[in-house]
């Protein structure tokens, strides 16, 4: 690949040409023909030509080569030029009276042929001009199709070459592979970008050598990720171990590779989808120190098809209101009796073909592809409609907490969406509680905190959901805009196992006391848990002890009971 496109430059405002010709009269004739349009260097023999080429190889636009020259003859010089990567891209036009040599020279790498005696000046100039133009076009394509750092194909050209490979070898079994470097960002952080670039170059070169030797092609897709399309391999661990060993890892600067493979690809599947499947496999070993390779299999295929079906069903599910909001009551337990304080809105999907679908199946999927934006707004609307109905029926409202995903936080219309919803159903912010997971705060924290602060300025109360799972620092927690901490149910479950250990819950309650915000515990199932949490100072609980999440028409019994108790 050209360095800085030097060969496209000119010397003295003209393209540089080397004429290798031992006959003086022929050199003079070519000088007269070329000097008006080109800057010319001359060599009378092969050795002199070698010297000139070495000194000017980055600037030469074309070489006119006579075959019958002293020292090193033209064919040997041509072979030498094409075998050297630094000169292989310089186009060579052979000049000879031996017409039989034309095919042989073309096979050796010559791009054109000028017969002797020389044809008319316009013919010679046209051949040279066209040769230079074609070569420059080819080099421009090479520059644009290659990754600047590693010299490998970039993603777009790579995918095109994969398609061409399939057309030429339709029966050959092929593997689609994705290879990346574990925790590459940390390599850059610890050792600097220059070292990180060296790692990428080294990984790319080892992959290129191995895959090319097997008859495949490789590219750098982005940052630390490489794609390879290779004739089917039998041992993927051996492959990745071979690459790792050749990187020359030492004990301090170990580079760990991982790879996902879609083996023996179905060629009816689009090229990009093949590598998506390889990535699905690769993602199953993210952060693993024991496994380096993963293979896309039938189970992954079935999961992928299931997720595709869910995504395709989504628009109709929204239109037909297949998503139903369930409500789980929350009780304040710090008084003489548990008092219904609020409820959490939880979405359920009753699919006409698949039946009841677990939120664990569709929520993470929709968070990944962005559909969660539409689902959340659907849920918020259903909750607002239900709150209005309860308010009209009972003259009494139980606040309901709804989930606001991290994806929602990047929606510029978020605040306006809530404002319109409250206006349409004549509700207040005190009737809508917003749950945001702790992990959302720890990613892009500045933007999230800004948006949460704006929501609080509107009057919303913010509950930090799944507290204890997002790895927030105590210093960070103390500065976050929150109005309640919600303990993840896993902590409750673990704390009340056979060897009861509630210290982590006590620490969380102490943190909440320090922040002067209430604590909500979810997943409470037994009276022992309820009593212990009350003694520890937990304010609000929810869980199967009181009720599982239930449809709105069943939840009214809690509202009616609470009204009865208040009026007693």
Is position 283 within any domain?
Answer: yes
**pLDDT above 60 for 253:** no
- 289 and 249: one domain? yes
Q: What is the pLDDT of residue 125?
A: 93
**pLDDT above 50 for 337:** yes
- pTM above threshold 0.75: no
Q: What is the pLDDT of residue 444?
A: 59
Is position 70 within any domain?
Answer: yes
Among all chains, which residue has been given the structure tokens 């093949």?
274
Return contacts of 296-304, CB within 8 angstroms, 24+ apart: 296/260, 296/261, 296/262, 296/263, 301/277, 304/277, 304/280
Is position 1 within any domain?
Answer: no
Q: Tens digits of per-residue pLDDT, 231-241?
A: 999 999 999 98
> Which CATH number do you get for residue 267?
3.30.70.270
Mark which of 145, 177, 204 sits at the end of a domain: 145
Q: Would residue 385 be called left, alpha or beta, if left means φ above 0 and alpha means ψ between -120 and 50 degrees?
A: alpha
Mark which of 274, 296, 318 sits at the end of a domain: 296
Split at pLDDT 50, 70, 90, the class of 460 is: very high
- 528 and 449: one domain? yes
Q: Pick 482 or 385 by higher pLDDT.
A: 385
Is 21 in contact with 52 (CB distance < 8 Å)?
Answer: no
Q: What is the pLDDT of residue 10?
A: 59
- 141 and 159: one domain? no
Q: What is the pLDDT of residue 251?
A: 40
- 107 and 194: one domain? no
- 236 and 361: one domain? no
Is position 566 within any domain?
Answer: no
Q: What is the pLDDT of residue 252?
A: 47
**pLDDT above 60 for 470:** no
If one counts every other C-beta atom within 10 angstroms of the C-beta of residue 239, the result is: 24
- 248 and 394: one domain? no
- Rounded CA separation 326/523 (Å): 16
Q: Tens digits of per-residue pLDDT, 17-40?
A: 999 999 999 999 999 999 999 999
Reading the block at residue 467, the tokens are: 């507290």
**Averaged pLDDT for residues 445-454:** 84
Q: Tens digits of per-residue pLDDT, 146-199?
A: 888 888 988 888 998 899 999 989 999 999 999 998 888 888 888 888 888 888
- What average pLDDT does the chain have? 88
CA-closest candidate to residue 353, choices 387, 317, 304, 395: 317
Per-residue b or e along 465-488, where b marks 16 or more CB atoms closer than 10 Å to that residue's CB = bbbbebebeeeebeebbbbbbbbb
Reading the block at residue 149, the tokens are: 């750092």
Point out which residues pair with 51 in neighbouring strands.
none
**pLDDT above 50 for 229:** yes
Q: What does the chain come to in residues?
A: 568
**pLDDT above 70 for 364:** yes
Is position 568 within any domain?
Answer: no
Total domains, the chain: 3
- Rounded CA separation 22/26 (Å): 8
Q: What is the pLDDT of residue 86?
A: 85
CA-closest candidate to residue 42, choices 22, 10, 18, 16: 18
Mark which of 249, 267, 296 sits at the end of a domain: 296
**pLDDT above 70 for 2:** no
- 218 and 291: one domain? yes
3-state SS class at 390: helix
Is position 402 within any domain?
Answer: yes
Is position 150 within any domain?
Answer: no
**pLDDT above 70 for 456:** yes
Q: Tens digits of per-residue pLDDT, 523-567?
A: 999 999 999 999 999 999 999 999 999 999 999 999 999 999 888
- Rounded CA separation 29/119 (Å): 11
Reading the block at residue 199, the tokens are: 């790692």
**Averaged pLDDT for residues 202-218:** 91
**pLDDT above 80 for 206:** yes
- 271 and 338: one domain? no
> Which CATH number do you get for residue 519?
3.20.20.450
Q: What is the pLDDT of residue 250?
A: 45
- Rounded CA separation 209/213 (Å): 6
Q: What is the pLDDT of residue 441?
A: 67
- 358 and 443: one domain? yes
**pLDDT above 80 for 510:** yes
Is position 518 within any domain?
Answer: yes
Return contacts of 13-17, CB within 8 angstroms, 24+ apart: 14/38, 14/39, 15/39, 15/61, 15/62, 15/132, 16/40, 16/41, 16/56, 16/59, 16/60, 16/61, 17/41, 17/60, 17/61, 17/62, 17/63, 17/64, 17/128
Q: What is the pLDDT of residue 357?
A: 93
With vertex at residue 250, the alpha carbon angle to CA 246 and CA 251, rounded to the nearest 5 degrees, is 140
> Which CATH number do you get for residue 120?
3.40.50.2300
Distances (CA, A) of 107 to 98, 111, 328: 15, 9, 78
- 524 and 439: one domain? yes
**pLDDT above 50 for 431:** yes
- 420 and 544: one domain? yes
Name the E strands within 58-105: 60-66, 92-96
For residue 252, the enclosing domain spans 155-296
Class of residue 537 by CB neighbours under 10 A (exposed 0-12, middle 13-18, buried 19+) = middle
Q: Tens digits of per-residue pLDDT, 37-88?
A: 999 999 999 999 999 999 998 889 999 999 888 988 889 999 999 888 889 8
Q: Tens digits of per-residue pLDDT, 285-315?
A: 877 777 889 999 989 889 889 999 999 999 9
Reading the block at residue 161, the tokens are: 């070459």
CA-closest candidate to residue 261, choices 292, 288, 219: 292
- 407 and 478: one domain? yes
Q: What is the pLDDT of residue 4?
A: 41
Q: Lowest-confidence range among 109-118, 163-172, 392-401, 440-449?
A: 440-449
**pLDDT above 90 for 9:** no
Distances (CA, A) of 389 to 60, 254, 334, 515: 82, 62, 29, 35
Split at pLDDT 50, 70, 90, the class of 143 is: low
Q: What is the pLDDT of residue 468?
A: 64
């Amino acid at each position: 690949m050209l360095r800085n496109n030097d060969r496209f430059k000119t010397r003295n405002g003209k393209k540089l040409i080397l004429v290798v010709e031992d006959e003086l009269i022929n050199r003079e004739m070519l000088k007269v023909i070329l000097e008006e349009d080109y800057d010319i260097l001359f060599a009378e023999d092969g050795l002199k030509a070698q010297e000139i080429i070495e000194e000017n190889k980055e600037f030469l636009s074309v070489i006119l080569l006579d075959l019958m020259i002293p020292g090193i003859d033209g064919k040997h010089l041509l072979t030498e030029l094409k075998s050297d990567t630094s000169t292989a891209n310089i186009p060579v036009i052979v000049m000879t009276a031996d017409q039989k040599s034309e095919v042989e020279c073309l096979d050796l790498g010559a791009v054109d042929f000028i017969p002797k005696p020389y044809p008319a000046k316009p013919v010679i100039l046209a051949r040279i001009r066209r040769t230079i133009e074609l070569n420059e076009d080819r080099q421009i394509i090479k520059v644009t199709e290659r990754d600047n750092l590693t010299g490998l194909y970039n993603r777009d050209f790579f995918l095109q070459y994969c398609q061409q490979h399939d057309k030429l070898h339709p029966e050959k079994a092929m593997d689609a592979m994705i290879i990346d470097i574990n925790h590459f960002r940390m390599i850059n952080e610890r050792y600097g970008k220059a070292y990180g670039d060296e790692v990428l170059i080294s990984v790319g070169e080892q992959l290129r050598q191995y895959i090319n030797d097997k008859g495949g092609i490789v590219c750098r897709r982005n940052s630390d990720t490489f794609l390879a399309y290779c004739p089917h391999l039998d041992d993927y661990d051996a492959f990745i171990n071979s690459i790792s060993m050749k990187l020359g890892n030492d004990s301090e600067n170990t580079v760990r590779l991982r790879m996902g493979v879609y083996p023996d690809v179905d060629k009816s599947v689009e090229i990009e989808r093949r590598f998506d499947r390889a990535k699905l496999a690769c993602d199953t070993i993210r952060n693993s120190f024991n496994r380096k390779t993963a293979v896309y299999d039938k189970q992954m295929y079935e999961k992928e098809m299931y997720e595709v079906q869910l995504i395709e069903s989504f628009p109709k599910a929204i239109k037909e209101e297949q998503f139903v909001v369930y409500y789980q009551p929350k009780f304040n337990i710090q008084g003489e009796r548990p008092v219904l304080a609020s409820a959490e809105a939880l979405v359920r999907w009753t699919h006409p073909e698949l039946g009841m679908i677990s939120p664990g199946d569709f929520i993470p999927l929709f968070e990944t592809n962005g559909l969660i934006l539409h689902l959340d707004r659907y849920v918020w609307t259903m909750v607002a409609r239900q709150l209005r109905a309860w308010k009209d029926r009972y003259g009494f409202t139980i606040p309901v907490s709804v989930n606001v995903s991290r994806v929602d936080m990047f929606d510029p219309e978020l605040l306006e969406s809530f404002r319109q919803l409250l206006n349409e159903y004549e509700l207040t912010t005190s009737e809508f509680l917003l749950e945001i997971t702790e992990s959302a705060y720890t990613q892009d924290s500045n933007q999230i905190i800004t948006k949460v602060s704006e929501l609080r300025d509107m009057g919303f109360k913010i509950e930090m959901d799944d507290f204890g799972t997002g790895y927030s620092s105590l210093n960070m927690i103390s500065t976050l805009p929150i109005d309640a901490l919600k303990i993840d149910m896993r902590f409750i479950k673990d704390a009340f196992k056979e060897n009861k250990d509630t210290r982590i819950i006590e620490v969380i309650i102490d943190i909440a006391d320090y922040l002067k915000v209430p604590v909500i515990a979810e997943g409470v199932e037994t009276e022992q848990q309820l009593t212990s949490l009350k003694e520890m100072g937990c304010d609000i609980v929810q869980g199967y002890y009181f009720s599982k999440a239930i449809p709105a028409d069943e939840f009214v019994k809690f509202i009616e009971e609470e009204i009865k108790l208040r009026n007693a």
